[in-house]
Amino acid sequence: MNIQISDIGHIIQLSIAPVFLLTGVGTNLMVLTNRLARIIDRTRVLEDKLDLGYNEDHMEELDVLFQRMGLINTAITLSAICGLLVCCVIAMLFLADTTDLPLDKYVAAAFVLAMIALTTALLVFLREIFIASRSLQSRRHTRPPVQQ
């Protein structure tokens, strides 16, 4: 096994596309964790208000926040799985090219699974956004008008 500089350059070229995908997944994870943090912050505020006295509106909003939190956690998990699978793809590309192991089917399977995980994560994220928007709109329509 004698790997030359040109071979290493070829291996790096093979892994460029998955690395860009990994960057996108990392950005997606950042967006999801920021949304989760905001949900947690709002939940804490509402729980503190509930400690002062029961309020039906706060309980309904907490229910929505817990639902959204579950969806965001699912999207984070799926995005992290996608990232791990992309890392496996990159590692298998290097390994297959340097050792001549026939890993092409494993690379393809890992990539397809990564795309399924990412697609599902994005769909779950979209669902969370719809729930957040619907909740905001319903609260807007149930509040009494502001008198000036």
Q: Give me the residue spans of the domains in the chain.
A: 7-141
Q: Of the given ranges (26-30, 48-52, 86-90, 125-129), which has the lowest mean pLDDT?
A: 48-52
- The predicted pLDDT at position 7 comes to 67
Determine the average pLDDT of the residues in 90-108.
89
Q: By percentage, how much of the chain surpasses pLDDT 90?
A: 61
pTM metric for this prediction: 0.83
Residues 1-29: b if buried by 16+ CB within 10 A, e if exposed: eeeeeeeeeebeebbeebeebbeebeebb
Kindly report the length of the chain: 148
